[in-house]
Chains A and B, each alone.
Chain A
Amino acid sequence: MIEHIGPQLFNGLVLGAFYAIVAIGLSLIMNLTGTINMAHGSFMTLAGYLAFTLVSRGTPFWFALIAAPLILVVVGVVVERTLVRPLYKREPFYSLLMTFGLSLMAEEIYRLIWGPNGVPFSPPKALAGAAHLGFMSFPTFRIFIAVVLVVAIAALALFLTRTRFGLRLRAAVQDTEMIAALGTNTQVIYAVNFGLGIFLAGIAGVLAAGMLGLSPTSGNALLMPAFVTVIIGGMGSLFGSVVGGVLIGMAISLTTLFIPAASEVSMYVLMAVVLLVRPRGLFGEEGIFG
C-alpha cells in the first residue's frame, strides 16, 4: 500500500492539473460575465472527438492537440455571440439554464455522430511507454500531460498580466462600464474571453480523452470537480483554482487508494471544510460575487 503512495500522489497532481485548467476556463467566463458555463464539459468532449477524428484520418497527434482546440474556439465564439450574448443583461441563472440545454443537445448529437459507447483514443507511440524516475516509474503520457497543462496555465498567467489585452480583460472584470467608457470595445473582450476559456477546455479535452477515455459524457465527468475547484480556490482567483485543483486531485487519488468508495465524496467533504473556515474559498477576492 505504502509503495503506491508516490505514484498515486503524482496521479493526483495530473488529475489536479486537469481540474485546475477546466476550473480556470470556467472562472474566466464566470468572472467577466456571470455565466456559469454548464456546456464546458460538452466542449471538452467535442475537442476530444475532433482530435479523435483528426488522428484517425492520419494527422499526427501533435497537430490534433493544437488544431482541435482552435476549431473548438471557433464553435465556442459562435455560440457565445449568438446564444450567450443576449443573456448578459439578464440574471445569471438564465445563461446557466441555456448552456445546460446546449449540453443536453450536444450529448445526444455526439451519440448520433460517434456512437453511444466510448471510442479508443490512445496517445502516440512516442508517449506510450513509462518513464523511470529512479524511485518510481510513471506513464510518459501523464508526464507529458502535466507539462502541457503547466505550460498552458503559465502562458495564460503571462497573457493576463503582461499583455495590454490581458490587462484590459482583467480591468473589465473589475468594472466593465469604466473600461467601456475609456474606449475599449467590451464586446470584443467578451468574445475573446469566452474563446480563451473554451481554448483551455479544448486542450484539457484532448488530453483527457487520451488519459481518461472518450465517450459522449466523458467531459461532463470533469465538470463537477471543476465546480468544486472553483468553490475551494475561491471565485475570481486563478491562482486559487490551481491550488484548489491540486488539493482535490490529491484528495481524490489518496481516498481512491485507501477508501475507494469515498473517492468522489472526499472532494465535497474538503469543500465543506474550506467553506466553514473561509466562506469565500481559499483565495476568493472580496467584491467579485460577494
Chain B
Amino acid sequence: MKARTELLVSAATVVLLAAAPAISPLVHLDVSIVSEVLVTAIAVMSVNLLLGYTGLPAFGNAAYFGLGTYGAALSVKYAHVHFIEAIVIGTVAALLGGLILAPFLLRRRGIYFGLLSIAFGQVFYFIAYRYTDVTGGEDGMQFPRPDAVLGGAHQTISELGFYYVALALFVLVVIAFRSVVRSPFGRTLVAIRQNEARVRYLGLNTDRFIFVALLISATMAGLSGALFGLLINFAYPLQLDWHQSGYFVLSMILGGAGTVWGSLVGAFIYVIGKDIISTITPLWQIFLGALFVACVLGFPRGILGSIAALRARAPDTFTDDDVNAAFDPNAPVEVGRGA
C-alpha cells in the first residue's frame, strides 16, 4: 500500500472507531462488545507477530492472555489496586510468564514449537483450575472494576470510559506494532520466517530475535488479557486454555496474517459473529468449527490479505515484501523450512 493511502485508511479507521459508541446502539450492539473487539484485536496482534510475521505456530498465547487477566483480577481482589495499576500488573505478569516459557519454546521450530506452546500453556490453565482457594477454580472469580486514580483524583470507569481507554491503548499498540514490524528487527523476523538458516549464515543469532519477539508477544497478550478481565470483571480458567489460543489464531487468519490491520478485522468478525450467532442458536460451536475448516481450506490469506493480493495484480503496486503472500495456498513451501 502506498504511504499516503495507508495513512488515509488508518486515520479513517481510527475516526470510525472513535465514533463507534455513537454508531453501535443503532445496530443494537452494546458498547462493551465493541470494547471486546479492540481488546481481542490486541491479543490477535500478539499471535500475528509470532505466526504471521515470524512463522512460529503460536498456539499458546492464551496462557499470556490469561496471565494478564488473572494478574489484574488477583491484584484487584486481594491487593485492592486501582485501574491503571491492575493493567500494568497483568501485563507484567504475562511478560514474566513469557520469560519463564521462552527458554523452552526457543529450542524448537515448526510444528514442534506449536506442540510445545500448547503443552506449556496448559500449565497455567491447570494452576488456575486447581488452586480453587485463590482463583475460584473452575467457577472463576468475580471482582469489581476498580477506580482509576491519577494524582489523588478518583475516577470511576464507565463502559463508555472503558471503551476510550481501550481505544487509546489499541491505537498505541497498533503504532508500536507497525513500527516494530517495519523496523530492521521486524524485517529480520520476516526473514526468519522465510529462511532461518540463511539468516543464521548472515551472522545473526536468530534465537535472540525470536526470544525478543516472544516477549513482545507475551506482553501484548497480557495487556489484552488484563483489559479483558477489567472489561468483564471476571477471570476464569478457560481464558488460559489452548482453545482460546486457537480462537486467536483463527481471528488472525480470518483478518489477514502478516498484515497490521488484519488483526482488527479478524477480531471484529470473531467477536461480533460470536455475539450475534450465540444469541440466535446454542449451536455456536458448530458454526465456529465450520468457520475454521472453511477458512483454512478456502480462505487462508484472509480478508486484508486477499484484498492486497487483488491490488498486487496491477503491476505498479506490486511489492515483493508482501508478508501475507506466504499464506497463499499456491505459494511453494520452501524445502527445509520449519525444520
A290–B108 CB distance below 8 A: yes
Interface: B249 (CB within 8 A): yes
Binds B, one of A64-72, A182-190, A222-230: A222-230
Enumerate chain A residues within 8 angstroms of B12, measured Cβ to Cβ: none
Are A92 and B296 also in contact (CB < 8 A) when A104-B289, A261-B131, A264-B126 are? no
Enumerate chain A residues within 8 angstroms of B250, measured Cβ to Cβ: 97, 101
The SS class assigned to the B binding surface is helix
Determine the distance from Cα of A90 to Cα of B126 in the docked complex, in whole angstroms.
33
Q: Which of B303-325 contact A (CB under 8 A)?
A: none
Interface: A218 (CB within 8 A): no
Are A104 and B285 also in contact (CB < 8 A) when A97-B246, A261-B131, A264-B126 are? yes
Interface: A87 (CB within 8 A): yes
* Partner among B51, B127, B131, B297 whose Cβ is within 8 Å of the Cβ of A98: B297
Q: A194-206: contact bitstring with B at CB < 8 Å (1 yes, 0 no)?
A: 0000000000000
Interface: A127 (CB within 8 A): no
A290–B112 CB distance below 8 A: yes
Interface: A285 (CB within 8 A): no
Q: A78-89: contact bitstring with B at CB < 8 Å (1 yes, 0 no)?
A: 000001001101
Q: B274-307: contact bitstring with A at CB < 8 Å (1 yes, 0 no)?
A: 0000000001011011111101110010000000
A289–B339 CB distance below 8 A: yes
Enumerate chain A residues within 8 angstroms of B130, measured Cβ to Cβ: 261-262, 264-265
* Partner among B59, B283, B300 whose Cβ is within 8 Å of the Cβ of A96: B59
A83–B120 CB distance below 8 A: no
Q: Which residue of B lies closest to A268 (CB)?
A: B123
A231–B300 CB distance below 8 A: no
Q: How far is the CB of A163 from chain B (nearest CB, A)?
A: 28
Determine the distance from Cα of A93 to Cα of B110 in the docked complex, in whole angstroms.
8
Interface residues of A (CB under 8 A from B): 30, 34, 36, 38, 83, 86-87, 89-98, 100-109, 112, 224, 227-228, 230-231, 235, 261-262, 264-265, 268, 271-272, 275-276, 279, 289-290
